[in-house]
């Protein structure tokens, strides 16, 4: 503590330089946090995936359907606990920019397979009784200001000639048990869908989601399902939900590599900027370090001062993480209509950002610090 | 009593230098700055070193202050043999035993006079209040108690050098090393600084070794030694010569 006045006085020697360095730290850490948020958003599907859930799709591609009649056959395979099916609807609410995912669900089994998405019993019962009923995620309800009882029209150009309007009654709201659970979906009943779609879509579902008794059996069950429908007109491909979610992310390109590359560039740029600042700062004070060493401050003390200065810059610059914590929810709301899931700033990203700040703080001080340590007092004073 | 012939057999000197050599290598050439130099300085002595540029005055001061190491020979201060100390030990030794006064003052511009003077005390175990008391005393001795919260840029050259003197004495070192302490001052400020250094010797019993080019400044010392061809030669004190090879 008794050296704090010296460290702070040296830090404030060039105020504009200090502000700019702290600013670059804050911006860089904001970017690091934001990259972490994006990475988290893309990985969310895999992260929230149930360990005991498998997804079965048409082997050709996800856009190809599979028969509803497979459901009972799959359920008979040993180890399968429950099964439900979904279809992608792709309707438009008022305008195409108002995107949110809509799924045709199987009301009988939905809650057994997705227990983490909670609907109050009375609302669920109302859903079962209303053929045109819809259950909507809390975030989408909030986004459009909907209330239970509202009648919502969705236009679909896929299921039906022209842009057919589908009317729904909101009868319930679901909430995720975990903060990262997706609360943007819109569910409606299979029966309503089935009665309105053209003949070619009848009896066809998009994919099956199933739960197994023991996650360790997943590879065996997946193989058994796919073998069951081998050489049929609609062969299947079954994989764990996390692998399926990861496959979706891959369709966007190699996001992990992109984030890693940008993050590395940010890290090294920050390291170079801060290192350069510290090097200039130390070079300007060569004579002062010589005097400190002459009057009895050791090499380690000198190195300690320089690292302390750099760490203070890093810690104050960590305010960029705080800015990210404020900005991410705002940005999340602004991006609510995008394909990305909810933007969240996980604590692990904040901790990682803070560690990046500490590492850059120490590393950027090492080289100038070592040169100050090695400074020969006699040589430095001769240069004055 | 100061001797330069190495004949002090009683080994009771505060500073005892024997056979000191310092050689620099420049390209393929060896430059012998000090050659077999001997020196004995007692507590309370005030010695001035003079000599032409490049004669090794500052080199000698650096060696005596533990800032540099000799090529050969020994330096013993208050019983501590410097030439056997590691770099770290020398740093600790300097903090305890040496007060440096430089030509360019070398105050830290971002610190106030008080904080500059306090620097050597940060290396001690003194409490904050004890440090404050010591600093205030040191600044009072140099008559700058009323400027303790001023930054160096707010002080004149003479005042800056007085703050540097306060910094040099605040930890009560064994001896003071002054390298051209008045070299950057006008005559009036130089006189004030020399009066102060003399007071430190007379009233506080400090031992002072000073390098200077200025004969008027050198006259303030008890003894002036000339560096010629790497060895010290007594030129004595014009005010008071003591028989027996020594000068008091």
The total of structural domains in chain A comes to 2
Q: What residues contact residue A341 under an 8 Å CB cut-off, 6+ apart?
A: A41, A44, A45, A182, A184
Residue A105 lies in a domain: yes
Q: Are residue A360 and residue A222 in the same domain, yes or no?
A: no
Q: Are residue A77 and residue A148 in the same domain, yes or no?
A: yes
Q: Are residue A379 and residue A266 in the same domain, yes or no?
A: yes
Per-residue pLDDT, averaged over B21-42, amounts to 89
**A378 vs B67, B122, B167: nearest CB:** B67
Q: What is the DSSP string of B141-197?
A: HTT-GGGTT--GGGS-HHHHHHHHHHHHHTT--SEEEEESTTTTS-HHHHHHHHHHH
**What's residue B39's pLDDT?**
92
Confidence of residue B10 (pLDDT cuts 50, 70, 90): low
Interface contact flag, B123 A297, Cβ < 8 Å: yes
CA distances B26 to A139, A305, A308, B70, B109, Å, are: 77, 34, 38, 16, 34
Q: Are residue A88 and residue A220 in the same domain, yes or no?
A: yes
pTM of the model: 0.74
Q: What residues contact residue B165 under an 8 Å CB cut-off, 6+ apart?
A: B101, B142, B181, B193, B196, B197, B200
Q: Are residue A105 and residue A208 in the same domain, yes or no?
A: yes
Here the ipTM equals 0.89
CA distance A185 to A101: 5
Residue A248 lies in a domain: no
Interface contact flag, A298 B120, Cβ < 8 Å: no
CA distance B208 to B210: 6
Q: Over the stretch B111-154, which tens digit does the pLDDT of each residue have?
A: 999 999 999 999 999 999 999 999 999 999 999 999 999 999 99
Q: Is the pLDDT of residue B64 over 70?
A: yes
Q: Over the stretch A364-382, which tens digit does the pLDDT of each residue have?
A: 999 999 999 999 998 888 7
Per-residue pLDDT, averaged over A258-263, amounts to 90
With beta carbons under 8 A apart, name residues in chain A contacting B178.
Answer: none
CA distance A381 to B104: 10
**What's residue B61's pLDDT?**
93
Per-residue pLDDT, averaged over A22-48, amounts to 84
Q: Are residue A180 and residue A126 in the same domain, yes or no?
A: yes
Residue A247 lies in a domain: no
Interface contact flag, A6 B128, Cβ < 8 Å: no
Q: Is the pLDDT of residue B165 over 80?
A: yes
Q: For residues A46 and A246, is the Cβ–Cβ distance under 8 A? A: yes
Q: Are residue A132 and residue A172 in the same domain, yes or no?
A: yes
Residue A50 lies in a domain: no
Q: Are residue A38 and residue A88 in the same domain, yes or no?
A: no
Q: For residues B237 and B222, is the Cβ–Cβ distance under 8 A? A: yes
Residue A241 lies in a domain: no
With beta carbons under 8 A apart, name residues in chain A contacting B87.
Answer: 299
Which tokens sit at A267? 């890290």
Q: For residues A302 and A289, is the Cβ–Cβ distance under 8 A? A: yes
Those of residues 8-67 in A touching chain B at CB distance below 8 A are 9-10, 12-13
Go through B29-53 and write b for each residue having 16 or more CB atoms within 10 A of its CB, e for each that does not.
eeeebbbebbbbbbebbbbbbbbee
Q: Are residue A319 and residue A207 in the same domain, yes or no?
A: no
Interface contact flag, B94 A299, Cβ < 8 Å: no
**What's residue A118's pLDDT?**
94
**What's residue B242's pLDDT?**
36
Residue A240 lies in a domain: no
The secondary structure of B57-123, three-state, reads HHHHHHHHCCCCCCCEEEEEECCEEHHHCCHHHHHHHHHHHEEEECCCCCCCCCCCHHHHHHHHHHH
Per the structure, the complete domain to which residue A79 belongs is given by 60-234
Q: Single out the residue in A234, A269, A292 at which a domain terminates.
A: A234
Q: Which of B116, B122, B153, B170 to mutate to test the interface with A (most CBs of A within 10 A)?
A: B122
CA distance A257 to A259: 5
Q: Which of A12, A281, A295 to mutate to test the interface with B (most CBs of B within 10 A)?
A: A295
Q: What is the DSSP string of A30-48?
A: HHHHHHHHHHHHHHHHHHH
Q: Is the pLDDT of residue B237 over 60?
A: no
Residue A163 lies in a domain: yes
Which tokens sit at A104? 């045709």
Q: Is the pLDDT of residue B247 over 60?
A: no
> Could you tell me if residue B51 is left (phi over 0), alpha (psi between -120 and 50 degrees) or otherwise beta?
left
Q: Over the stretch A108-161, which tens digit does the pLDDT of each residue have?
A: 999 999 999 999 999 999 999 999 999 999 989 998 999 999 999 998 877 766
Q: Are residue A111 and residue A226 in the same domain, yes or no?
A: yes
With beta carbons under 8 A apart, name residues in chain B contacting A384.
Answer: 102, 104, 106
Q: Are residue A97 and residue A223 in the same domain, yes or no?
A: yes
Interface contact flag, B100 A378, Cβ < 8 Å: no
Q: What are phi and psi of A13, to 5 degrees?
A: -60, -45
Go through A40-57 and write b for each residue having 16 or more CB atoms within 10 A of its CB, e for each that does not.
bbbbbbbebbbebbbbbb
- The residue of chain B with its CA nearest to that of A15 is B110
With beta carbons under 8 A apart, name residues in chain A contacting B88.
Answer: 298-299
Which tokens sit at A94? 């008022």
Q: Does an H or E element contain A255, and which?
A: helix A255-284
**A288 vs B92, B96, B108: nearest CB:** B108
Interface contact flag, A2 B128, Cβ < 8 Å: yes
Domains and CATH numbers, chain B: 43-66+97-236 (3.40.50.300)
Confidence of residue B238 (pLDDT cuts 50, 70, 90): very low
- Interface A-B: count of C-beta contacts within 8 A: 66
CA distance B66 to B43: 18
The secondary structure of A116-168, three-state, reads CEECCHHHHHHHHHCCCEEEEEHHHHHHHCCCCCCEEEEEECCCCCCCEEEEE
Residue A242 lies in a domain: no
Those of residues 277-336 in A touching chain B at CB distance below 8 A are 287-288, 290-299
Q: Is the pLDDT of residue B234 over 80?
A: no
Q: Are residue A35 and residue A178 in the same domain, yes or no?
A: no
């Amino acid at each position: 503590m008794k050296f704090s006045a010296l460290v702070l006085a040296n830090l404030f020697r060039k105020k504009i330089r200090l502000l700019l360095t702290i600013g670059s730290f804050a911006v860089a850490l904001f970017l690091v946090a934001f990259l972490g948020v994006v990475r988290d958003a893309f990985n969310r599907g895999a992260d929230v995936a149930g360990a005991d859930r498998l997804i079965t799709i048409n082997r050709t591609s996800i856009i190809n359907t599979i028969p509803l009649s497979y459901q009972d056959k799959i359920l008979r395979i040993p180890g399968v606990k429950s099964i439900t099916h979904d279809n992608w609807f792709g309707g438009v609410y008022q305008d195409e920019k108002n995107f949110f995912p809509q799924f045709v669900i199987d009301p009988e089994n939905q809650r057994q397979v997705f227990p983490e998405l909670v609907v109050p019993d009375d609302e669920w019962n109302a859903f079962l009784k209303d053929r045109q009923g819809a259950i909507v995620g809390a975030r989408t309800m909030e986004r459009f200001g909907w209330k239970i009882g509202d009648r919502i029209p969705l236009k679909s150009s896929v299921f039906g000639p022209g842009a057919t309007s589908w009317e729904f009654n909101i009868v319930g709201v679901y909430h995720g048990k975990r903060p990262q659970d997706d609360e943007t979906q819109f569910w409606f009943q299979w029966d309503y869908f089935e009665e309105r779609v053209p003949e070619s879509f009848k009896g066809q579902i998009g994919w099956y989601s199933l739960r197994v008794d023991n996650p360790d059996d997943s590879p065996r069950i997946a193989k058994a399902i796919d073998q069951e429908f081998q050489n049929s007109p609609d062969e299947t491909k079954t994989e764990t939900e996390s692998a399926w979610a990861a496959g979706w992310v891959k369709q966007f390109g190699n996001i992990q590599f992109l984030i890693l590359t940008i993050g590395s560039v940010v890290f090294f740029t920050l390291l170079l900027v801060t290192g350069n600042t510290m090097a200039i700062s130390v070079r300007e004070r060569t004579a002062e370090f010589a005097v400190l060493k002459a009057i009895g401050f050791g090499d380690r003390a000198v190195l300690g001062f320089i690292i302390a200065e750099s760490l203070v810059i890093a810690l104050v610059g960590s305010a960029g993480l705080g800015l990210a914590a404020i900005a991410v929810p705002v940005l999340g709301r602004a991006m609510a209509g995008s394909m990305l899931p909810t933007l969240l700033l996980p604590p692990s990203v904040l901790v990682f950002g803070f560690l990046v700040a500490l590492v850059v703080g120490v590393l950027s001080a090492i080289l100038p610090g070592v040169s100050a340590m090695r400074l020969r007092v006699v040589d430095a004073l001769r240069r004055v | 009593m100061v001797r330069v012939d190495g004949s002090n057999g009683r080994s009771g000197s505060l500073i005892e230098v024997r056979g000191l050599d310092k050689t620099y290598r420049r390209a393929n050439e060896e430059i012998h700055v000090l050659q077999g130099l001997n020196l004995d300085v007692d507590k309370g002595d005030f010695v001035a070193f003079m000599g032409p540029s490049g004669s090794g005055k500052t080199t000698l001061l650096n060696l005596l202050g533990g800032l540099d190491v000799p090529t050969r020979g020994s330096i013993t201060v208050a019983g501590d043999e410097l030439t056997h100390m590691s770099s770290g030990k020398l740093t600790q030794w300097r903090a305890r035993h040496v007060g440096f006064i430089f030509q360019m003052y070398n105050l830290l511009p971002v610190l106030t006079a008080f904080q500059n003077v306090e620097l050597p005390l940060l290396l001690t175990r003194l409490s904050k209040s004890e440090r404050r008391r010591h600093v205030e005393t040191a600044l009072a001795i140099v008559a700058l108690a009323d400027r303790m919260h001023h930054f160096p840029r707010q002080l004149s050259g003479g005042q800056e050098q007085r703050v540097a003197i306060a910094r040099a004495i605040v930890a009560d070192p064994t001896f003071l090393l002054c390298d051209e302490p008045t070299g950057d001052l006008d005559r009036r400020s130089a006189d004030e600084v020399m009066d102060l250094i003399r007071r430190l010797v007379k009233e506080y019993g400090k031992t002072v070794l000073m390098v200077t080019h200025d004969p008027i400044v050198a006259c303030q010392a008890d003894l002036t030694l000339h560096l010629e061809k790497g060895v010290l030669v007594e030129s004595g004190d014009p005010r008071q010569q003591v028989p027996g090879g020594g000068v008091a």
